[in-house]
Structure 1
Amino acid sequence: MERKKFIRTMAVVSLAPALLLAACKDTGRRKTAEGAVKTYTCPMHPQIVQNQPGTCPICGMELVPFDKNNKTAELTLGDNQVALANITTMTIGAGALANHKQLNGRLTTDPEQTAVISSRVAGRIEVLYVKETGVRVTKGQPLYKIYSEQLASLQQEYLLAVAQLRQFPGDSRFQQIEKAARQKLSLYDQSEAQISQLLKSQQVNPYVTYPAAISGIVSALTVSEGQYVSEGGVVMRVEGYDHLWVEADVYPAEVSLVQTGQPVKVVIAGWENEPQTMTIQFINPALQAGSQLVQVRGTIPNPGQRWQPGLQASIFLPVNSKGNVLSVPVDAVIRDGKGTQVWIEKAHGKFVPRMVSIGMENADVVEITGGLQAGDKVVVTGAYLLYSEFILKKGADPMAGMSK
């Protein structure tokens, strides 16, 4: 009996290590199986993490799988991926940086290139040679013909004065009457050639044709054929667009930043790649009616008349500048609630995020005050794609846990 008990005891003791080893292997297999479970996150909200597919409770996007065990803050992309994402880099260095203040403005017509065509005589519009607005006219081109009884009377008066002077050539009084009658015709836009023709034909012509005083576009037409107009009545307005005014609004506290003769940059909406240089020509000393704004003005050329009055424009006023600073393009900087970040290319195809401190900036570049040094290779286009790719692959914000 004691012998059998001894044998059973020895068997248990000899099997215990094997059972323990098997249990450990089973535990390892279970852990491995647990580690192989996929983890899912939201591309827009990396704080959402779960072990099964679904939708984001914040934005409703489909969750995507990611490898939660890969914690390296680095992305490796192939040449094809870099080309498809349009990722480009630049090596930064120190240089000058100017800051600008943006003013809202607009293009308007230049009054010096505007002519109001009015009737010199009272009468009836017999013929309109231009019957609609938007028509281009050239200087000297006939615009309208008017019938004027008053002009006919003046012509008849002049013919009588000339006849009297011929009867009494030495009479100074008749000389003065003839001169006065001729002067009246000149005031009614009768040219020397027309007066000479009147003397030659001895026929009264009650019609007078008015030409365009300048070349430009007919912007307003206030009469129609057959309509009677008074002396001085407006018939049409012609505007030239070879040069345009740029008017900008400035708050009174900022007027000290603007000076007459100061060069500024003008960017017209739709032509952002073609900035214009303008000189400030006038600063209105009074506030605009109904607002607390001061108006400043300058002139820009309008080659080919490609811009129209009324277009919006932005005026960039130099405020201050710095020399010998590190700067990167605005698109290279990613900003969120955790700070500002850029992406660095450490080696070919290897990109890492870098927290940075920024300073002065303008519409094109941003000053880097910390986090980078001259010679770093910074991603200037495609930074946001790298940011999104990092979240998709790592399931975390690349700025998480980073410090400047």
Structure 2
Amino acid sequence: MERKAFIKKVALVSLVPGLFLAACKETAKKGGEAAKEQTYTCPMHPQIVQNHPGTCPICAMDLVPFDKNNKDAALTLGESQIALANITTITVGTGALSNFKQLNGRLVTDPEKTAVISSRVPGRVEVLYIKETGVKVTKGQPLYKIYSEQLATLQQEYLLAAAQVKQFPEDARFRQIAVAARQKLVLYDQSDAQINALLQSQKVNPYVTYPATVSGIVSELSVSEGQYVSEGGAVMRLEGYHQLWVEADVYPAEAAAVKVGQSVKVMVAGYENEPQQMTVQFINPVLQSGSQLMQLRGTIANPDNRWQPGMQAVISLPVKSSGDVLSLPVDAVIRDGKGTHVWIAQAGGKFAPRMVKTGMENFDAVEITEGLEEGDKVVVTGAYLLYSEYILKKGADPMAGMQH
């Protein structure tokens, strides 16, 4: 009996190593299968991860495969991939950076280029040569013809005075009366040629045609044909658009940043690629009625009358400037829910994300206050492609888990 028990123990001990090795092989096999198991994620929502193909429950995009075991934070691209993605870099350096504040503005007619055509004599408008607004008028062009009984009376008075001077050439009093009568006609806008023609014809003409004293666009008509007007009564308004006012709204707290004589940039709506330089000529110290806004004003040239009063404009007001700061082009900085980051170019075609903090910003550049050093090579164009490629290959946000 003792011999049989001893044989059983020896047999059991000899079987244990074999069973242990088999268990290890099975475990290794399962581990290898687990390691080879493919995982899938959403390109737009990397938090969605599963071990089989499908669609994203958030945006319904097809899931893409990725290697969840790759923990390298950098991307490695070949030369052809870099060229295809148009990836370019810039070496970070220090320099001056200016910041601008945008003010809402509008184009307004310049009152200095506006003229009111008024009647020089009382009477009836016989002919109105311009019958609608928006018509372009040139200086010297006939505008209206008026019938004036008062003008006829003054013409008759001058003819009598001239006849008396002719009959009594030595009488100084008659000469004074004739000069005064002629001056009255001049005050009623009668030219020397018209007065001389009156003397030659010896006929009173109660009709007089008045020309435009300036060039411009008819913006308002105040009379119609057949209407009686008084002396000095408005007939029409002419506006010149070759120079326009620019009015901009500014809060009192911001008004300290702008001064009369300061140069600012003006961008007219629809012509943003043609910015205009304007000198601030006036800052209204009184708030606009019903608002907490002040108003600044300047003038800009309007070649070929391509801009019209009432068009919107944006005024770029420099509010502060700083020197010796690290700055990058706007396109180099990527912002998402995790923060702000850039892509650093490394040797061997590697690109790694790096979180940064930004300062002031203008249309073209962003100040980098933390995260970069002078001399770093930063991706300018293609940064968003690298961001997307990282999500596709890694299945995670490049800023996930980073703290600055």
By the TM > 0.5 criterion, same fold?
A: yes
Query: Structure 2 matches for 1:4-403, cutoff 5 A?
Result: 21=21, 24-78=24-78, 81-82=81-82, 85-347=85-347, 349-403=349-403
Structure-2 change in CA distance of 1:285 and 1:8 (3 Å): same
Aligned-pair RMSD on alpha carbons? Answer: 3.2
C-alpha separation in 2, matches of 1:216 and 1:5: 127
TM-score by length of 2: 0.86
For 1:156, give the aligned amino acid.
Q
Shift of 1:194: 1.5
Shift of 1:108: 1.5
Please identify, of 15-24 and 233-242, the stretch whose mean Cα deviation from structure 2 is larger: 15-24
For 1:329, give the aligned amino acid.
P
C-alpha separation in 1, matches of 2:400 and 2:361: 25
Shift of 1:19: 6.2
C-alpha separation in 1, matches of 2:350 and 2:311: 45
C-alpha separation in 2, matches of 1:86 and 1:127: 70
- Other structure's SS at 1:257 match: coil
C-alpha separation in 1, matches of 2:111 and 2:397: 57
Shift of 1:355: 0.9
C-alpha separation in 2, matches of 1:5 and 1:90: 82
Shift of 1:20: 5.4
Unaligned runs of 5+ in 2: none
Structure-2 change in CA distance of 1:30 and 1:105 (3 Å): same
- Other structure's SS at 1:210 match: strand
Structure-2 change in CA distance of 1:153 and 1:369 (3 Å): same
Deviations 1:178-219 (A, max 9, x none): 233322222222211121122222233333333223233333
Shift of 1:24: 4.4
Unaligned runs of 5+ in 1: none
For 1:368, give the aligned amino acid.
I
- Other structure's SS at 1:315 match: strand
Shift of 1:323: 1.6
C-alpha separation in 2, matches of 1:36 and 1:207: 105
C-alpha separation in 2, matches of 1:359 and 1:325: 10
- Other structure's SS at 2:393 match: helix
Deviations 1:333-378 (A, max 9, x none): 2223332111222247532211112223223222112211222222
C-alpha separation in 1, matches of 2:132 and 2:353: 62
- Other structure's SS at 2:232 match: coil
TM-score by length of 1: 0.86
Shift of 1:328: 0.9
C-alpha separation in 2, matches of 1:323 and 1:354: 24
For 1:350, give the aligned amino acid.
K
Deviations 1:111-139 (A, max 9, x none): 11111222223334443433433333322
Shift of 1:10: 8.5
Shift of 1:293: 1.3
C-alpha separation in 1, matches of 2:83 and 2:272: 26
For 1:189, give the aligned amino acid.
D
Q: How many residues align?
A: 404
For 2:300, give the aligned amino acid.
I
Shift of 1:95: 0.8
Deviations 1:260-313 (A, max 9, x none): 222223233333333332222111121111111111112222333333222222
- Other structure's SS at 1:44 match: coil
C-alpha separation in 1, matches of 2:213 and 2:357: 61
For 1:288, give the aligned amino acid.
Q
C-alpha separation in 2, matches of 1:88 and 1:216: 53
